Amino acid sequence: MRPSLDAPSKRFAHALALAIEARCVTFRDYIPWADAQIARVDHPPIWICNLSTTKYLPDALRVIREFVHSEPFEDVSGTATDYLGFLWIRYGRRELSWATFLNESGAYCDGSNAEIDCEYFYGMLNELEEAEFCSEVEARQSEHVKQRLGEMLARTRDVYERFRNRG
């Protein structure tokens, strides 16, 4: 076992909370991840120990956010749009339709400090509805979103892969 020096950062924990909130990650994912983290170190962080026994989504978010917002304080606000990346992953796994992705992304941007205006997504949703959910419109729009959010999507994919690999 290693000492707890490699414990996940608050920035990673914040991204994990966004993944859980976006329902990209469930207790079936985060409990084994937490168990693996506990097994890797001599003194695991208490928040990871608590997370390893928490199935209920609101309680899991509370556990993580209490850690993220505890002392010493860190600015983790730069990862707010990661939520969109986790929705993108769900869209890629075919859990969300394109219309649902656009609607949920627009709603998130409308109620957060995201750098992207909600009308970016709502405008595409309107166009998609007017085109009667045409697959060509979806393909063009999804490519545009992929290009616009490229760096953020790559960062989110890295967090997701690290998490899924129990690292």
Closest by CA to 30, choosing from 49, 5, 44, 46, is 49
Contact between residue 7 and residue 27 where contact means Cβ atoms under 8 Å apart: no
* Nearest alpha-carbon partner for 92 in 28, 24, 15, 20: 24
Q: Which two tokens stand for residue 25?
A: 């990650």
Phi and psi angles of residue 74, each rounded to the nearest 5 degrees, phi first: -130, 150
Instruction: Show the 3-state SS of the chain.
Output: CECHHHCCCHHHHHHHHHHHHCCCCCHHHHHHHHHHHHHHECCCCHHHHHHCCCCCHHHHHHHHHHHHCCCCCCCCHHHCCHHHHHHHHHHHCCCCCHHHHHHHHHHHHHCCCCCCCHHHHHHHHHHHHHCCCCHHHHHHHHHHHHHHCHHHHHHHHHHHHHHHCCC
Return the pLDDT at 4: 41
What percent of the chain clears pLDDT 70, i.e. is strictly above it? 92
- The stretch 62-89 carries a mean pLDDT of 88
Q: What is the pLDDT of residue 155?
A: 83
pLDDT band of residue 167 (cuts 50, 70, 90) is low
Q: What is the pTM of this model?
A: 0.86
What pLDDT is attached to residue 75? Answer: 82
Nearest-angstrom CA–CA distance, 17 and 98: 23
142 neighbors 92 (Cβ within 8 angstroms)? no
Per-residue pLDDT, 162: 77
- At 107, is the pLDDT very low, low, confident or very high (cuts 50, 70, 90)? very high
